[in-house]
Structure 1
Amino acid sequence: MACKKLFSGVLPEITNYIIQFLRDHLRSLYSCVLVNRHLCWITIPILWEDPFYIMRNSKFLTTYLLFLNDEDKARLKGLIFPSSFKKPLFNYPSFIKTLNQLRMQEHVTEFIENLIDTNPLTTDFAISLFHNEPAKLLVLLSTICELLFKLFISNDISLNSLYIKICHSQHALNVMIFNEICKKPKFLSDIKYFTLDFDRSKVIPHLPIPSFEDSPSAITSNKHFTIYFIAYLMSALKYCSNTLTSIKFILCNFNDLPSLNGLNYLVHLESLQFKQCKGITVQVFRPLLDISTPLKIKTLTLDGLSMEITFIQSLFQKIGSFLENLEIKLVIERKIIYESIINHCNKVQFLHISEIEHVDIVQLFKLITHVRKHLKYLSLQIQNHRQPCLIESDYDDQQLRVSSMILTNLGQILPDTLKYLELNLEIDPINLKIFLDNCKHIVGLNSLLVINKSQNDIIFDVLKEFVREKKVTNFAYNVSALFSTHDYYGRQYLDNEIHPFVKPYSELIKRISNNNDYFEI
């Protein structure tokens, strides 16, 4: 009786809670659709929130195209809409929450390729596209994407995530998208994740990108901005200064820019990430450094080859007292960087450092000792590329030397309350035994991840004993070098012995992201 009431809609709050709990389990949701009308009505919208997520599944596009008006259908010359196809009961275009332009184009491409097999009436048309007039194929692709985009906007959808790719080959489509956004600022008003990916910076002068100054409401609610080549959009930041908390610079070249004036509006920024950028200087980021109010950035990623050391020092001085999550992947002036962290940062809980060399060891240990009071997550990785001046054997010796220095001296300075430890080293079993013996004071470790770069992979028993003794909840082990058949079976034996603890490395690894919890798992 209780189940009957539940699934018939008598208890809507509980029913909705159950469906929301199952939202990531597609098979269960599909089953709910078949139970009764009530469950169908509350499940269908969830299934259509991100239809482009599932690859190699373009059949649903036919459903979308049925919602086009006669004028738009006429633009799809050669595509036949059978009279037996009636408009569905649900308004499927209104349900979409995540729209990725790249995925949409991939699905449309597959949809066109399947025309011959799925609709014989379009055979002649499709053959002409693929064999005689390939230029028309691109036109049809762009046309369908344009019509879908307009269809979504006309349904007053409220997106959570939007990804747009700007590339030269899709010039007309890009212009249409931006024009439609300007006409309907509500389209962007509730977006949390907005990504503009510029394929080539030379495209920008030819693309009439609208200024968001004309429709500030389109951007005032954005909480996260992930923008490739963001330099072209700095003027828009003033309209989201009260809500924008996370910004990520990826593959940006700031060499030709005097300064990024829009940054001075980001007074509520909590996460700042630089990945593979060039030309990062004090001059360019002076507006951010000159913000008069305290800049309470908790999460920082520094990953790149071209960063002015003065900027890094100034940034740590500005935000160091608030910093909790820090990821560093730099090959410049690391000693100075470590000193700056020690001088200004004392609340770091998450620390990831890569590209470690033997000259860094002393300062690295000083840094870990300095932050150990709050440190909960630690990830260390030795240098991951061989310098041109080193032959392979010398490089391996250097890797082993650095790893040995870390293993023999790290354990005793780790905090008792460490929860997560990730080591990407060239591991010698003797040094590993020393390290694990020095870690016996740690009482809260629940995740241990080890990548062994050594070709002599014989550390299974050592790890097995430690995992058992410390009752580590989550354990992952990987070998990045080639290993023998004997070593391979040794790994299988290790997994069988401690099977309850073993998980794939990819499931346990933690990195800073722009998510609310700042970790990407």
Structure 2
Amino acid sequence: MACTKIFSGDLPEITYEIMRYFRDDFSTLYSCILVNRLWCRLAIPLLWEDPFSLKNPKNYHTRKVSNSIEKWVSTIFINNTTQNLDFIKFIHKLLIKIFDENEATLHTLYVTYKGSYRDTIVSELVLRSSNFICNVRNLYLKINKCNATDINPFLNFLSSNCNSISSLDFLFSRCYQKFEKKLCNIIDSQQNLKKISLNFNSFPLYHSLLSSKNPNFTNTLRTIIFYHINFENIVVANEIFKQLSVLESIHILYCYSLDSFQQITNLTDPFKLKSLFMAESFTESLQLLLQKSGDYLENFGLELLRQEQKILELIIKYYSKKIKFLNFCELEDQNIYKIFQLIEKVELSLNYLTIDTNCNVNLGSIVLQHLGQILPSKLEYLNLILIIKPNDFKTFLKNLQNTFIKKLLINNIEKEEQEDILSYIKEYIMKKKRSEYLALLECFTVQSYYTEVDLYSLKDEVKEFRLHNIIVQNYNDLDIETHKFIHEMY
């Protein structure tokens, strides 16, 4: 009888005394929260008695915490935006206070500034909690608003108080020049900066960002990533790279006006170009740049280019010993065989491959008919984005039987309603265990409506693959974004 009363909630005092024995068993306390309101009310104080004694995990993802707070507050103050924002701000302050008092260290800070209330909260909390943020190691700063002058105190704080940043990632969608000096100050203040990534959305790069005279900067920087940078009207002078004495890798991702790199050919030291992803036409200066960079290239991609064949011939001739990542998008039909030639030549090192033929039906068929025969015996990642004809796809899978692909992604961008490729995947991939992770996205039109179906949403199919030790994932979750990949790998 007493046991029945405890579990029905009739004896809260006894229930609490029993629950106290679980104070160090966090997983049990989490389960108690889900039983009923009483158990939830009793378990939460125990969880929050000493949150920093929790041994695993030691790292907190504050974005998840913030989302939970906002959902919770929205259930309390319905249709009252002002109260919601005030209460959210109040809770954030209390959390930061807890972090501060317990000497927690902020390891990674992502700030996307759009001028919203959340941006204001972040700026205020950071400025009030200098001990919490001053030892931040990784800073990701994205600014989308031209007149974001209210972020200036935050930028000033970073340059004055945070000098231990090892990785900087700047992304500006507009008006980068308004913040140039403050960004330079942040860079100059660092004592152990190892990586810097610059993304200015096709806006010009200014010379000053790469011209720091800080010896800590020049003697520690190992990686530079240029992403969507326009090098027009700037000379990337030899002295900039000469002073970077320990630089190990340079990455150029979909940048413009690469002729500015022509002076690099006069450098006596190697130009360690590890990544080159191109979206502009081939030039003689680019050829000189590639020749100068020697046998360093590891990641390469082409997208919508004229004179693709010249670039591919150059890569095949000089830069194929270490290539492990290839990405091709919207290519011309006549160049696909050069790509096949490159894939065959880098077979020993190739680990990641993406081919996007867009809506080119003929090119998609050529890829499916020939690719399976030339792939290496093992791939970490293969992503095919094309219009799939079932017979061609069956041929591809048959030819793939000597290859194991850890992560296989298929995006059928224009499926005919009666066509079925899933049965082929089950026959040649699932039953023969040729993959560990699988993503399949199929797009088709029904009565003028464009529809996407992700295999991940079909729960019975997901369970069937799981029985064969293949994990089906959401296509977009498994898809590799080039910039993110390079940033994580280097």
Q: TM-score, normalised by structure 2?
A: 0.71
Answer whether contact 1:52 1:100 (CA < 8 A) is retained. no
Matched, 1:451 2:411: yes
Q: For 1:244 and 1:32, how far apart are their aligned partners in 2?
A: 46
Unaligned runs of 5+ in 2: 1-19, 28-33, 35-42, 71-84
Per-residue deviation at 1:303? 3.9
CA 1:172 to 1:449, structure 2 compared with 1: closer, same or farther past 3 Å?
closer
Q: For 1:89 and 1:402, how far apart are their aligned partners in 2?
A: 55
Q: For 1:489 and 1:367, how far apart are their aligned partners in 2?
A: 31
Per-residue deviation at 1:436? 1.9
Q: Could you say which residue in structure 1 is the equivalent of 2:306?
A: 332
Q: Could you say which residue in structure 2 is the equivalent of 1:366?
A: 341
Per-residue deviation at 1:48? 6.5
Q: Could you say which residue in structure 1 is the equivalent of 2:228?
A: 251
Per-residue deviation at 1:506? 2.6
Q: Could you say which residue in structure 2 is the equivalent of 1:209?
A: 182
Unaligned runs of 5+ in 1: 9-14, 20-26, 69-86, 110-140, 385-395
Q: Could you say which residue in structure 2 is the equivalent of 1:235?
A: 211
1:279-294 to 2 correspondences below 5 Å: 279-281=257-259, 284-286=260-262, 288-294=264-270
Deviations 1:291-345 (A, max 9, x none): 43334444x14143x3553344334323352323333334132101111111112
CA 1:366 to 1:189, structure 2 compared with 1: closer, same or farther past 3 Å?
same
Matched, 1:221 2:192: yes
1:496-511 to 2 correspondences below 5 Å: 497-500=464-467, 501=470, 502-511=472-481
Q: Could you say which residue in structure 2 is the equivalent of 1:82?
A: none
The match for 2:400 among 439, 460, 463 is 439
1:396-475 to 2 correspondences below 5 Å: 399-442=360-403, 444-456=404-416, 457-471=419-433, 472-475=435-438
1:92-491 to 2 correspondences below 5 Å: 95-102=105-112, 106-108=116-118, 141=120, 147-153=124-130, 157-165=134-142, 167-171=145-149, 173-174=151-152, 176-184=153-161, 187-195=162-170, 197=172, 199-201=174-176, 203=178, 209=182, 211-212=184-185, 216=188, 218-229=189-200, 230-231=205-206, 232-236=208-212, 239=215, 240-260=217-237, 262-266=240-244, 268-281=246-259, 284-286=260-262, 288-298=264-274, 300-304=275-279, 306=280, 308-345=282-319, 346-382=321-357, 384=358, 399-442=360-403, 444-456=404-416, 457-471=419-433, 472-482=435-445
Q: For 1:508 and 1:162, how far apart are their aligned partners in 2?
A: 24
- Percent identity over the alignment is 23
Q: Could you say which residue in structure 1 is the equivalent of 2:10?
A: none
Letter in 2 for 1:452: N
Deviations 1:415-437 (A, max 9, x none): 22334322111111111222222
Q: 1:482 is paired with a residue of what secondary structure?
A: strand
Answer whether contact 1:100 1:162 (CA < 8 A) is retained. yes
Answer whether contact 1:249 1:277 (CA < 8 A) is retained. yes
CA 1:54 to 1:248, structure 2 compared with 1: closer, same or farther past 3 Å?
farther
Answer whether contact 1:162 1:194 (CA < 8 A) is retained. yes
Answer whether contact 1:32 1:39 (CA < 8 A) is retained. no
Answer whether contact 1:263 1:287 (CA < 8 A) is retained. no
Q: 1:243 is paired with a residue of what secondary structure?
A: coil
Deviations 1:77-116 (A, max 9, x none): xxxxxxxxxx86952796433334436954547xxxxxxx
Task: Say which is worse superposed, 156-165 or 432-441, in terms of deviation.
Answer: 156-165
The match for 1:61 among 89, 92, 117 is 89
Q: For 2:101 and 2:57, how far apart are their aligned partners in 1?
A: 9
Per-residue deviation at 1:32? 9.9
CA 1:7 to 1:327, structure 2 compared with 1: closer, same or farther past 3 Å?
farther
Q: For 1:343 and 1:195, how far apart are their aligned partners in 2?
A: 35
Per-residue deviation at 1:368? 1.3
CA 1:98 to 1:61, structure 2 compared with 1: closer, same or farther past 3 Å?
farther
Per-residue deviation at 1:517? 8.1
Answer whether contact 1:94 1:156 (CA < 8 A) is retained. no
Q: TM-score, normalised by structure 1?
A: 0.67
Q: For 1:225 and 1:53, how far apart are their aligned partners in 2?
A: 28
Deviations 1:223-269 (A, max 9, x none): 22122344351213864233333333233222222335534444544
CA 1:519 to 1:433, structure 2 compared with 1: closer, same or farther past 3 Å?
farther
Deviations 1:152-184 (A, max 9, x none): 33667211233445543222542x344434443
Q: Could you say which residue in structure 1 is the equivalent of 2:77?
A: none
Answer whether contact 1:93 1:151 (CA < 8 A) is retained. no
Task: Say which is worse superposed, 328-337 or 191-200, in terms of deviation.
Answer: 191-200
Q: How many residues align?
A: 422
Q: For 2:380 and 2:95, how far apart are their aligned partners in 1?
A: 52
Deviations 1:336-395 (A, max 9, x none): 11111111122222222222221212211211121112223222111x3xxxxxxxxxxx
CA 1:445 to 1:32, structure 2 compared with 1: closer, same or farther past 3 Å?
farther
Q: Could you say which residue in structure 1 is the equivalent of 2:40?
A: none
Q: 1:418 is paired with a residue of what secondary structure?
A: strand
Q: For 2:211 and 2:53, how far apart are their aligned partners in 1?
A: 43
Q: 1:445 is paired with a residue of what secondary structure?
A: strand
Per-residue deviation at 1:33? 8.3
CA 1:481 to 1:338, structure 2 compared with 1: closer, same or farther past 3 Å?
farther
Answer whether contact 1:246 1:514 (CA < 8 A) is retained. no
Letter in 2 for 1:159: V
Per-residue deviation at 1:147? 4.2
Answer whether contact 2:221 2:244 (CA < 8 A) is retained. yes
Answer whether contact 2:365 2:389 (CA < 8 A) is retained. yes
